[in-house]
Amino acid sequence: MHIILLGPPGSGKGTQAKNIASEYGFVQLSTGDMLRAAGNSGSKLGLQLKAVMDEGKLVSDEIVIGIVQERIFQNDCAAGYMLDGFPRNLLQAKKLDTMLAGQNQQIDLVIRLCVNDEVVVRRIAGRRFHVASGRSYHVEFNPPENEGKDDLTGEALIQRADDNEDIVKSRLNIYREQTEPLVKYYEEKSILVTIEGMGTPNEIFAKIKVALAQQDRKSVV
């Protein structure tokens, strides 16, 4: 099955993608992770990417499409995958459909997570990370034992440059302008399911499992 997870930054797409991967064995494809890795590579392109992301802007369609196209046709994606953070606009969505059609494939289900802006800002602006290990915390929902310090090493935690409140609000504005039109696009294809993103991760995942089960029944029919 080929799945897209839609939703604003901080809507829980990454968490739910991990849940789906663990439960169903689908490969999680986060363009954010791929771009962040490139941004930290130190290459000329990586430095350009980092500058764009640190300002809360979106990377060009050409770059993102190239990364996704290279990844989705690798062998480990043959049994199914989830796209988290792609497509972001109609151009990317149509390009994705064209790429898949060339391989006799298609998107089977689009899961849209809805969360209001105030909650998104609280979720993202409160995130803190331990650089060396990748361990993550949240000042409100999952605080470290000692403020600003990693629990295991005692080393300082950081806030990503693109996680501050002003940049989060900028990202939400961009999301509304460019990404929300995808809702209509996938509604017209009758593959969109909208899920309320408030509640515990387990509660939200339970709703996602219902949607996946319904899609499985459609596929059988």
| 184 counts as catalytic | no
Contact between residue 137 and residue 127 where contact means Cβ atoms under 8 Å apart? yes
| 127 counts as catalytic | yes
Q: Of the listed 50, 88, 112, 128, which one is catalytic?
A: 88
CA distance 117 to 133: 30
| 36 counts as catalytic | no
| 122 counts as catalytic | no
List, for residues 80-114, the tens digit of each pLDDT value. 899 988 998 999 999 999 999 999 999 999 999 99
Q: Of the listed 36, 160, 169, 209, which one is catalytic?
A: 160
pTM to 2 decimal places: 0.77
List, for residues 149-187, the tens digit of each pLDDT value. 999 999 999 999 889 889 999 989 988 888 888 999 999
The DSSP line for 25-55 is -PEEEEHHHHHHHHHTS-SHHHHHHHHHHHT
Q: Which residues of 49-81 are buried (b: 16+ CB within 10 A; e: fewer)?
A: bbebbeebebbeeebbbebbeebbeeeebeeeb
The most distant pair of C-alpha atoms in the chain lies apart, rounded to whole Å, by 55
List, for residues 51-83, the tens digit of each pLDDT value. 877 787 777 888 788 778 878 888 998 888 999
H or E stretch at 120:
helix 117-125
| 18 counts as catalytic | no
Q: Where in the chain is the domain with CATH 3.40.50.300?
A: 2-115+166-220
Average pLDDT, the chain: 88
Instruction: Check if CATH label 3.40.50.300 holds for domain 2-115+166-220.
Output: yes
